[in-house]
């Protein structure tokens, strides 16, 4: 099956809405991008879940869950989801119910993405405890068990170290069966990919194609250990896309700060370059086992860029 393409929506995390002074106009810009993605054949609209921009600023930045609820009604075909929601920002039982509701609002087009969280500014700014990474991962393990139970059982009782739930009821549970798909984001080989094998329906790993082939091999071994069908897990990655007449022109347009998100030199493997180069790089991702690429467009509010990519690579 050919690789599918999705869009990271410009909700303001990277300051992409800073030039729009009216917040209503800013949200309508986000909605226009979402509706364009719906029309043009993209697979999913992904939204980051953070509370401060990066770096922290006074620029407009919309909250993830409420934005998804609105876009569930603004779109018709395209899937929607978080890449990914921060586990520590909300109680997991509440997140399960919120996810079920968004799945109904979207008529079954929702993918629930969750991760251990990493942006320390969010935690400190909003008064959440920022634990060490191993503890956040242990919290995530408990959380995904609670969420899955609330999606599948009549009542959920869970007595963990971090979370306690007592006879929790969640109705309606959503539209999709057996439950809303769960994406677990991250590339940690010992814990995160093991959690994917045990509980996830979708993974998201940000790496070069060579790095992805390695990570997917680790995931497959965890699946074998857990008695899980590796091919039952949808494999996604994230890339940046810059189209230009030449590779040199495209590489010159790579924004600063990408090294914080993409390992190594993303200019060497991302969807950056001429149309021919991008075709080759898509083929490399596909050969590594990628089934869906979530694309970040630096010109994220420019509908002509979305249209050009769709014309070249989707249709």
Please state, in angstroms and rounded to a whole number, the distance separating the CA atoms of residues 33 and 44: 12
Digit-coded pLDDT (tens) for 243-266: 999 999 999 999 988 888 999 999
**pLDDT value, residue 300:** 92
| Residue 22: how many other CB atoms lie within 10 Å | 10
Note whether 89 and 163 are within 8 A (CB). no
Confidence band, pLDDT 50/70/90 cuts, at residue 170: very high
Note whether 118 and 88 are within 8 A (CB). no
What is the domain range of residue 122? 4-314
Confidence band, pLDDT 50/70/90 cuts, at residue 11: very high
Return the percent helix, strand and coil in the chain, to nearest 5. 45, 15, 40
Span 281-307, average pLDDT: 97
- pTM (two decimals): 0.96
Span 99-105, average pLDDT: 98
Span 172-181, average pLDDT: 98
Q: How many domains does the chain fold into?
A: 1
Digit-coded pLDDT (tens) for 45-61: 999 999 999 999 999 99
Digit-coded pLDDT (tens) for 180-193: 999 999 999 999 99
Please state, in angstroms and rounded to a whole number, the distance separating the CA atoms of residues 169 and 93: 9
Q: What is the CATH number of the domain that holds 120?
A: 3.20.20.30
């Amino acid at each position: 099956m050919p690789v599918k393409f999705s869009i990271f929506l410009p909700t303001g995390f990277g300051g992409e809405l800073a030039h729009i002074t009216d917040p209503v106009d800013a949200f309508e810009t986000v909605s226009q991008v979402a509706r364009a993605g719906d029309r043009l054949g993209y697979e999913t609209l992904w939204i980051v879940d953070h509370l401060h921009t990066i770096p922290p600023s006074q620029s407009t930045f919309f909250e993830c869950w409420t934005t998804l609820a609105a876009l569930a009604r603004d779109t018709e075909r395209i899937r929607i989801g978080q890449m990914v929601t921060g586990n520590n920002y909300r109680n997991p039982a509440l997140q399960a119910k919120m996810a079920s509701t968004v799945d109904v609002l979207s008529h079954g087009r929702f993918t629930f993405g969750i991760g251990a969280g990493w942006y320390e500014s969010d935690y400190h700014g909003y008064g959440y405890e920022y634990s060490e990474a191993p503890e956040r991962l242990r919290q995530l393990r408990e959380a995904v068990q609670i969420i899955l139970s609330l999606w599948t059982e009549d009542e959920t009782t869970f007595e963990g170290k971090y979370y306690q739930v007592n006879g929790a009821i969640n109705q309606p549970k959503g539209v999709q069966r057996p439950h809303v798909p769960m994406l677990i984001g991250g590339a940690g080989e010992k814990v995160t990919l093991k959690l994917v094998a045990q509980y996830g329906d979708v993974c998201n790993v940000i790496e070069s194609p060579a790095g992805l082939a390695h990570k997917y091999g680790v995931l497959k071994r965890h699946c074998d250990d857990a008695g899980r069908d590796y091919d039952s897990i949808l494999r996604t990655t994230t890339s940046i896309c810059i189209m230009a007449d030449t590779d040199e022109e495209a590489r010159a347009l790579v924004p600063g700060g990408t090294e914080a998100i993409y390992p190594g030199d993303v200019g060497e493997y991302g969807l950056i370059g001429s149309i021919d180069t991008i075709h080759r790089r898509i083929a490399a991702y596909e050969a590594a086992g990628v089934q869906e690429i979530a694309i970040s467009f630096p010109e994220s509010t420019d509908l002509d860029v979305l249209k050009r990519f769709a014309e070249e690579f989707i249709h």
